[in-house]
Structure 1
Amino acid sequence: MLMGYGLFKQLLAPLVLGAALVSAGAPATAAPSPAPKEPQRLILAFGDSLTAGYGLPATDGFTRQLEDALKSQGLNVRVHNAGVSGDTTSGGRSRLSWVLSSMKQKPDLVILELGANDALRGIDPKLTRANLDAILTELKSQNLPVLLAGMYAPRGLGATYYKAFDAIYPELAKKHNVALYPFFLDGVAADPALNQRDGIHPNKAGVAVIVKRLAPHVRRALQGSGARVAR
């Protein structure tokens, strides 16, 4: 026997209400857990005024522009500025151990940029080579990957000098099996539009050019892919 529609509604109402309450209390399909964030990688930029950002606000200097560029490419990095204006390879060699011991985190990569002041002062290339060799040996002993940023000597010093000086970087990169960026100031040196009034230190636009050219080498060095010596 069929019951009346009114009675059917009265009997069904508690069931519908209970189902609604259960539905409201139950969580929706669980959202997927966010992917674990890539751990931050630390890059130690060890060099002279070109690394330090001489004559520029901190936001326009090499280390900040490089960090921003790498972050824009999706890399979680921090670039530590260990540049000292006026530093020679001798100065860098003497302070390397202190810099490394003072860091709370072991660097994932060291960008080694030294030698420009040696050339400007006409320091014997043999001494420059010995200092850079010692620095690379120390970094290697601590299992720190290195991107060696090369430098060219001014041509006004004569062929004998600049040929001996220029050869230091590729030869040491090969000896220590580290990545090489042949000329740190590539695309910037001798261009008035990209340098400060002294004609030596890059301006903000000049640093941007350096970073644009160097960043792919830094990325490869961090990822551990590609040839160890850039061509």
Structure 2
Amino acid sequence: MRALQARGSLVVGLSRRPSRADEHEECDVADRAAVDAVAARVLQRHPRIDLLVNNAGVGARGNYLDVEPEVIERVMRVNYLGSVWTTLAFLPGLDRGSRLVNLVSVAGTVAGGPYSASKHAQLAFSRSITVELARRGVFVHTVNPGFVETEGFPQRDRFGPLSSRLVAEPQLVVERLLDAVDKNRREIVVPRWYRPAAWIQALAPGIVATARARTSRRRLRSR
């Protein structure tokens, strides 16, 4: 947000809690009616949207067999449908030359429970809307971060000494996101070395599934 403001952009933030945006609208992106109402108000003030960033997300650690159904439903509504509702609601403001950024996750390229499933759906949406909006002259960017240390998603304690290699700082994601926008890059992974995870899952899903199953069995025996 501050990086965009430093570039001279007027930033309108949609979130459930107050933000540092120039203008703020309280909104739960999982609520389609609320998103539509907020978008109508914002578009009345700002008919053209130069850059729309879908960044809302909630975590859901655990597998399908470990979490409550309400958690599964919530993570899908926010991570996946939140991007869909927001994009469609602001579509009237996206014109030729506008940019849409979907902040997805490397988790969307691998198999790993409800969170990965929500990000996989968001990734498929981002790739699909890339094609659909091309005819309007709207450029879509898909950003897939790995583990990132944020207030809502603390990661460093999970990895100990390896955290410096596995966990990225938010500033790196911001820099790569803006670089992708500036250079018209459709899809990026941050950090870049997370790419092999997506390649292995795509090329050898059976091997990945077998490896994960073995790891899961070892964890069960160690309890």
TM range (shorter): 0.3 to 0.5
Which has more helix, going by share of residues? 2
Q: Which has the higher contact order (CA 8 A, sep 6+)?
A: 1
Scaled by the length of structure 1, the TM-score of the pair is 0.46
Scaled by the length of structure 2, the TM-score of the pair is 0.48
